[in-house]
Amino acid sequence: MNRIEELFKKKRNILSIYFTAGFPELKDTVPVIKTLAQGGADMIEIGIPFSDPLADGPVIQQSSELALKNGMTLSLLFDQLNDIRKETAVSNTSLLLMGYLNPVLQFGIAGFCEKAKACGIDGVIIPDLPLDVYLQEYKELFQKAGIKVVFLVTPQTSDERIRLIDKHSEGFIYLVSSASTTGVKGQISEEQLAYFARIRAMKLSNPVLIGFGIADKAGFNKACEYAEGAIIGSAFVKVLGQRNGLTENIKKFISPLRQEMPL
Amino acid sequence: MSYQVNEKGYYGSFGGAFIPEMLFPNVEDLRSRYLTIMESDDFKKEFNSLLRDYVGRPSPLYYASRLSTHHNKEIYLKREDLNHTGAHKINNTLGQILLAKRLGKKRIIAETGAGQHGVAAATVCALMGLECIVYMGEVDIERQAPNVARMKLLGAKVVPALCGSRTLKDATNEAIRDWINNPVETHYIIGSVVGPHPYPDMVARFQSVISEEIRTQLLSKTGKETPDYVIACVGGGSNAAGAFYHFLDEPSVKLIAVEAAGKGIHSGHSAATMVLGKPGIIHGSKTMLMQTEDGQITEPYSISAGLDYPGVGPVHAHLFETGRATFVSATDEEALAAAYLCCRLEGIIPALESAHALAHLDKLKSAPGEIIVLNLSGRGDKDLATYIKHQNL
C-alpha cells in the first residue's frame, strides 16, 4: 500500500511540511528531510524550484530563486533523493514532490514518474497541471508508477467541481485555506472556518489537508479540528532561511507542533 | 487546417489553460461568457462607437510612397500609431474594460513592459471610472519613466515587480498573483495574445479590427481586398494576431512575423522565441518558450521592451509550426536603422517594436507590383531617449 494511504488510515492531526529543495544550500535537501522526519513530520513536500512560481508568495519565491542560483535542477534533485529511503528516519514518511508543470514536462512525464518511483516518492502536487489534462494525458503514467496526484480546492471552487476533484483525487485533497498565494496572512478568520466546515460537511471520499497560511501551532490545531491535518510551508522556509544552525532551527520549529494538543 | 482556437482552447498542440485551481473560477467564468458578451448587439454598439469616437478608428492605411521608392516595393502602412495612446494596445483594453463591466468587475489589474499596455489600461479605467493597478518590473519602471508618469496621471497605481529579472515576465507573474489574492471583483486585462484560454482568442478578436479595416481600405485603394504580404512584429504577438486575423484563411496572403533578435540570435541576448525556444508552459499557456534544459524560463533581451518576452502567443506557435506564417527576426541595430529611415523618408517616428517590422523590408524578396501591408503598431514618442542615445552610433 502507498505510504500516503497508510498514513491516513492510521493517523490524524497529520503534519505535512513543505520546503524548497536545494535551499538554503544545495546540499541541504537530504539533511532537511531527515531532520523533519526525526522531528515527527508525517509528510514532507519537497519543492522543485521554478523560475516563475505563480501560486507562491515572496518567501517561497525567494527560496526558489536562491535554490536555482545554488544550481538545483530536477535531475540533480532525483540524484539527491536516490538513497533517501535508506535513511531509517525517513522509511515511513510520506514524501511528495511539489512543483510547477514546466520543469516536469521538460524532464518528460514518463521519465519523471519512473525516477520518482525509484526514489520512493509517494505523491506529487503540481498546481498548474489542470485536472482535465491530467485525466486525458498523464493519469495512466502516474498510476502505473503508484504515484498519487494531489489536487487543490479553494474557497471559490464550486461544490460541483469539488465533487469532481474528489472523484479523481488520490491520496488526499489539498484545501487551500483562503484566496491567496502561499504565505502567512495572520489569524484564521471566521470566514475561513465556515469554509472549512462547509468542506467537512461534504463528507468527501478523500482525506483533507489544509494548507496556505498555516504557520504555527495555533493554526495547525485549528486546521486539525476541521481536517485530517495541515500543511506548513512558508513559515518553515523562513526558518530555513536563517541558515545558522539548520538542524537546531528545524527541531525548534517542529517540536511544539508535535506536542500533545490540549483536549 | 484551422488557425482559430478550438473548443478546448487549443491552437493545434498549443494553448490551453494551465492554471492553478485558484484561478479556475475566474478563467472559467470568462471562458463561458466572453463570446456571448462580445457578440451581443449592446456590446458591439458600445465598442464600435468608442473605437470610432475615442480611439479614432479606422486608423488610416497609408501608401508610403518614399519608403516604397526606397525599397522598390509597394508598401502600405497600417497606422496603429495614430490611435489614442499611441499604439494598437487600446483596441484590446477598450474591449476588455467593456467586458469587465458586464462581468460585474470593479477593479482592474494589468501588467506592462514598456508601459504602452499599462497606459492603455489606465486610460480605459479612467474612462470607465474603475480602479486600476498596473504591475511593472522595477527595471522597466526606471527605463520607461514617461509612461509611468502617464499612468499615474491617469489615476492608476503602478506597483513594482521586485522578483526575478524585474521585467515584463515578472510583472505578469505579479499580476497573476494579485488575481489569485483578489478573485472576486477583479478582472485581469492581459495585454497580449498570451495567458490561459480564452485570453489569446479574446485579445486576438479585439485586435482583429486591424485586418478587418485593412481589407476594406485596401479594396478602395487598389481594387483588391487582400495584399500579397502582411508584416508585423511579434513579442507576445497581439498586433500581429490582429493584422493577420482576417487573412489566416487566405493562402495567397503571405504572413510575416518579425521577432526581436536583440544583439544577434545566438548572442545570448535575444528574444527570438521561435528560434531559441521549445514547447513549454508560461503564464498558463502551452507555447514556444525560451527556457533552460531544466525547464526554467530564461530572460530574453531586446532593445525594445515590448518585444522582450520569453514566450509568444500560442496562436503564433501554431502559425509557426504549420508554416502558415514565416517567422524572421531583426536585430537591435537593424531596427534602429529602419526607424531612422522611416523618420527621414516618411516623417513618422515609429515605436521600436514596429521598427523591427520595418527592418524586414530590406530583406523581403517580393516580386514587382506585389502589395505589402506593414502594421505600424505604435509610435516612437516613448522611445525618444533610446533613439537619441543611438543616433550617432
Q: Are B154 and B243 in a shared domain?
A: no
In a domain, B345, yes or no: yes
Q: Are B288 and B377 in a shared domain?
A: yes
Q: What residues in B contact A105, CB-CB < 8 Å?
A: 280-281, 295
A&B contacts, CB < 8 Å = 108
Q: The domain that contains B270 carries what CATH number? A: 3.40.50.1100
Query: Which residue is closest to A152 within chain B, CA to CA?
Result: B21
Q: Are B309 and B161 in a shared domain?
A: no
pLDDT of residue A185: 76
d(CA A35, CA A44): 11
In a domain, B70, yes or no: yes
Q: What residues in A contact B17, CB-CB < 8 Å?
A: 130
Looking at the predicted structure, is the pLDDT value of residue B204 above 70? yes
Q: Is the omega angle on the peptide bond into residue A24 within 30 degrees of 0, that is, cis?
A: yes
Asked if B297 lies within 8 A of A52 by C-beta distance, the reply is yes
Asked if B180 lies within 8 A of A50 by C-beta distance, the reply is no
Residue type, B277: G
For B256, the enclosing helix (H) or strand (E) is strand B254-262
Please write the tens of the pLDDT for every residue from B108-142: 999 999 899 999 999 999 999 999 999 999 988 98
Domain that holds residue B289: 56-86+208-390
Contact between A141 and A110 (Cβ < 8 Å):
yes
Residue for cell digits 502536487? A125
| CA–CA min distance B173, chain A (Å) | 6
| Tally of structural domains, chain B | 2
Please write the tens of the pLDDT for every residue from A129-161: 999 999 999 999 999 999 999 999 999 999 999
Asked if B280 lies within 8 A of A158 by C-beta distance, the reply is no
Q: Are B374 and B254 in a shared domain?
A: yes
Q: Which of A54, A105, A176 sits opposite B176 (nearest CB)?
A: A54
Q: Are B334 and B218 in a shared domain?
A: yes
In a domain, B132, yes or no: yes
Of B203, B229, B257, the domain-final residue: B203
In a domain, B28, yes or no: yes
Please write the tens of the pLDDT for every residue from B272-299: 999 999 999 999 999 999 999 999 999 9
Query: Which residue is closest to A74 within chain B, CA to CA?
Result: B294
Q: What is the pLDDT along chain A (263 residues), one digit of tens a residue?
A: 799 999 999 999 999 999 999 999 999 999 999 999 999 999 999 999 999 999 999 999 999 999 999 999 999 999 999 999 999 999 999 999 999 999 999 999 999 999 999 999 999 999 999 999 999 999 999 999 999 999 999 999 999 999 999 999 999 999 999 999 999 778 899 999 999 999 999 999 999 999 999 999 999 999 999 999 999 999 999 999 997 899 999 999 999 999 875 54
Q: Are B373 and B248 in a shared domain?
A: yes
Looking at the predicted structure, is the pLDDT value of residue B322 above 60? yes
- B91 three-class SS: helix
Q: Are B79 and B158 in a shared domain?
A: no
Q: Are B186 and B322 in a shared domain?
A: no
Of B169, B203, B237, the domain-final residue: B203
Mean pLDDT value across residues B355-374: 97
In a domain, B2, yes or no: no
| CA–CA min distance B251, chain A (Å) | 33
In a domain, B10, yes or no: no
A141, with CB counted inside 10 A (0-12, 13-18, 19+), is middle
Q: Are B79 and B128 in a shared domain?
A: no
In a domain, B367, yes or no: yes
- Whether B302 is a known active-site residue: answer no
Please write the tens of the pLDDT for every residue from B100-114: 999 999 999 999 998
pLDDT of residue B393: 55
Residue type, A162: I
d(CA A174, CA A231): 9
Mean pLDDT value across residues B244-255: 98
Asked if B297 lies within 8 A of A61 by C-beta distance, the reply is no
Q: Are B247 and B344 in a shared domain?
A: yes
Chain-centre distance of CA A211, in angstroms? 8
Residue for cell digits 498548474? A128
Q: Are B105 and B156 in a shared domain?
A: yes
Asked if A179 lies within 8 A of B25 by C-beta distance, the reply is no
Interface of A with B (CB under 8 A): 50-52, 54-55, 57-58, 61-62, 65, 68, 73-75, 100-107, 127-130, 133, 151-154, 156-158, 161, 165, 176, 179-181
Contact between A94 and A44 (Cβ < 8 Å):
yes
Write phi, then psi, for A170 (nearest 5 degrees). -135, 145
Helices vs strands, H then E, count in chain B: 16, 14
Q: What residues in B contact A103, CB-CB < 8 Å?
A: 294-296
Of B175, B203, B231, the domain-final residue: B203
Q: Are B218 and B262 in a shared domain?
A: yes
The answer to ipTM > 0.90 is yes
pLDDT of residue B74: 98
